[in-house]
Structure 1
Amino acid sequence: MNSRRGRAAGLWPIGRHLVVVVLIGLGVFAAATVLLWLALGLPSAPGPDTRLNVIKIALSVVAGVGGVVALVVAYRKQRIGEAAEAREHVKVLNERFATACAQIGHEKPAVRLAGVYAIASLADEWTEQRQVCIDVLCAYLRMPYEPTLDSPWYHDEETEVRFSITSVISDHLRPGAPVSWQGHEFNFLRAVLRSADFADIEVSGGRLLFSLARFRRGWVSFDGMRVSGGEVWFGGAEFADGTRVTFDNAEFGGGRVQFEGAAFTGGEVTFRGAKFTGGEVDLSQVGPGDYTTPPVFDPWETPPPGLLLPGA
């Protein structure tokens, strides 16, 4: 059992470890004896004092080896204990993950909401599996969903769950977040987004993928968004009737924002007050038939550098 625990902790078997320590100790003793013998001028018949000194050195070396052996045993116990504690911690995290996933798949919206916040809390603690937790939240948004468009305020229970997911993600991408999720991938491929608040988020690395997403009736805000690195993709996204998607006062200072194949055929998409100071915001690959309701920009004589419009 101890051997298996030692191997799990990345340690040699205890027997091998002790043999190596004892051999090293004996080697040190032999070297010390030879050096002492040389220092005494290689006496052929050592006197009583010399023999006594040699015995003292031998006893000191034996005591030292014993002390080292005790340290090795204590060190192994500590390492094995730490490894067992780490395994137990990972086990608890896995159990929490399984429970949160079961909640987020529950039929009752209130339980699903609890699962959303449980997954987010776990992502904050579990750095090694943070991307997996993020993937679970994004995967929920990618599940087929048709909002009840005639509900009051264009809002229903499922929309609230989805809004909570986007809010949790946004909170971790804003400046000053207690735990930042910057640099990760957020895959909203084919997601149906009706109400989401991405205002004031920062993108300095990683990727936000809204490719083929459908923005349905409601308001999705990217107001004050700052992109200084990474990638944001809206390739093939659909901005349809009744949609309001705003990038007002956003700042694009780096990275790449791509709208290749997106469809601006209804609703309102605005970039009022947006600053294009670097990077690339590319709408050049939007087809003429998909640009019947163009985004609204501030007036200018020529487009700012980095903003590529259809036909440019």
Structure 2
Amino acid sequence: MPVVVVGLALLALVPPDWWLRARAAVPHLGWRWLPALIAVAGLAVIAGRSAARWRRGGDDRRRPVAERVPLFVHVAALLALAFLVAVVAGLGMWVAVGRPDLSSATTSGAGTAAWSIANTFDALKIVLAIVAGIGGVVALTVAYRRQDHSEAAEHRENTKLFNERFGKAAEQLGADKSAIRLTGTYAMAGLADDWEEGRQTCIDVLCAYLRAPYDSAARDEQQVRHTIVILIRAHLTPELIDTSRRPRWHGYRFDLRGATLDGGDLSRIDLREGTFLNLRGAVITDGEVSFSGAKFSGGTAAFNEARFLGGTVSFVGAHFSGGTVSFSDAEVSGGTVSFIGAQFSGGAVSFSDARFSGGTVAFNSADFAGGTVAFRDADFAGGHVDFSTPRSWSAPPIGVVSTQRGVSWPATAS
């Protein structure tokens, strides 16, 4: 390749006989076409050599240039390339200024100014500036590629470290001793904070732990499970996030389908747009699952097909300005679902096709100012749904009437 570059440079500097004969035969074939022809030929040769080297296999391609090409050859090739660029640039300038006679120091008969030594130095300055500019672009490109390569290597190293931490945390979560499992919950949550690309995976592992079969009589296991819920809350509650400076987990999925819950504190969380808390088919046995003071501003909490056998699911003081909380096809046979003091200014809460055979759904002191609370096709076979003392009734629930059994309606709305 260096020999090719040097040959092209000499060809541009000393035109061969065949080019002189071609100029004599074709009057319009001027000097300006020679550099273009040389450049095209050079690019073709370089492309051909590069393709041939690529076809030779991957082993040679993976070797650094410093190993494949001696230093003096590499330097000579770059100098020859710079020389070729300078020659082509000089010829281009010469053509651009009207091809003056470089051998004459007097004004030509056509009135064209003679080419002086000062003109030569000025032209050399411009040519060298062009070469330097091209060299600067090449240097910036090389620096960018080096930086990109360094960042890619750092990314691979970080990914390797994250994978090792992930394996260790997963191993701890599967340990026999509850203390080690508890350590694993914090390790997995900490990894989720540090590893943005793998955050959803870490969240999925924590949620999968909550979906696993569970004996509520095992108090040590209950502590591990409640800790996971606390960690989820800590990453979805704005004031806790601001205090601890931990990353937010908004915009992620929390898959708790079919999980057995006997308590858990999710109070004051903010379910923003893109956040999905999926409790479809969950079983609430006892204890309290708290969403007290939570803000539903665009996210989703799905209790579809959930079974409320006991305990309490609390939305006391929650604010619904957007998003959805769905209890569609849920079964309330015990316990309490409390919306006492909740504010409905937007969003939707749906009990469509839900079955009430026991327990209580309470909306005392709730503010029905907007949004939708729907009980379409709900089955009130038992239990109690209490709307008797709302704070505001400008947007009452739909799909339910005061005459239905088990429904307490405001006296002023009867």
Long gaps (5+) in structure 2: 1-58, 65-76, 105-115, 379-398, 401-414
CA distance in 2, matches of 1:22, 1:216: 82
1:249 aligns with: 317
2:265 aligns with: 197
SS at match of 1:269: strand
CA shift in 2, pair 1:22/1:107, >3 Å = farther
Matches within 5 A, 1:1-312: 3-4=61-62, 26=84, 30-39=88-97, 41-46=98-103, 49=117, 50-51=119-120, 54=123, 61=130, 68-148=137-217, 156-176=219-239, 177=241, 178=245, 179-205=247-273, 206-241=275-310, 243-287=311-355, 290-298=356-364, 305-309=371-375, 310=378, 311-312=399-400
CA shift in 2, pair 1:278/1:26, >3 Å = farther
| 1:236 CA displacement | 1.1
TM, length-normalised to structure 1: 0.82
| 1:246 CA displacement | 1.3
RMSD of Structure 2 on Structure 1 (CA)? 3.1
- What is the letter of the counterpart of residue 294 of structure 2? M
The higher radius of gyration belongs to 2
2:4 aligns with: none
Q: Relative contact order (C-alpha < 8 Å, sep 6+): which is higher? A: 1
Question: Given that residues 221 and 247 in structure 1 are in contact (C-alpha distance below 8 angstroms), is that contact kept between their aligned partners in structure 2?
Answer: yes
Long gaps (5+) in structure 1: 7-18, 149-154
CA distance in 2, matches of 1:163, 1:291: 28
SS at match of 1:294: strand
CA distance in 2, matches of 1:247, 1:21: 76
CA distance in 1, matches of 2:314, 2:282: 15
CA distance in 2, matches of 1:299, 1:52: 91
CA shift in 2, pair 1:65/1:222, >3 Å = closer
| 1:58 CA displacement | 5.0
CA distance in 1, matches of 2:373, 2:341: 14
> Which stretch of the first structure deviates more once superposed, 174-183 or 190-199?
174-183
CA distance in 1, matches of 2:289, 2:221: 16
CA distance in 2, matches of 1:233, 1:29: 73
TM, length-normalised to structure 2: 0.63
| 1:105 CA displacement | 1.2
Deviations along 1:33-61, one digit per CA (max 9) or x if unpaired, are: 4224533x422343572555555555555
1:151 aligns with: none
| 1:121 CA displacement | 1.0
SS at match of 2:101: coil
Question: Given that residues 33 and 54 in structure 1 are in contact (C-alpha distance below 8 angstroms), is that contact kept between their aligned partners in structure 2?
Answer: no
2:109 aligns with: none
Question: What is the count of residue pairs matched by the alignment?
Answer: 290
CA shift in 2, pair 1:28/1:261, >3 Å = farther
CA distance in 2, matches of 1:169, 1:252: 20
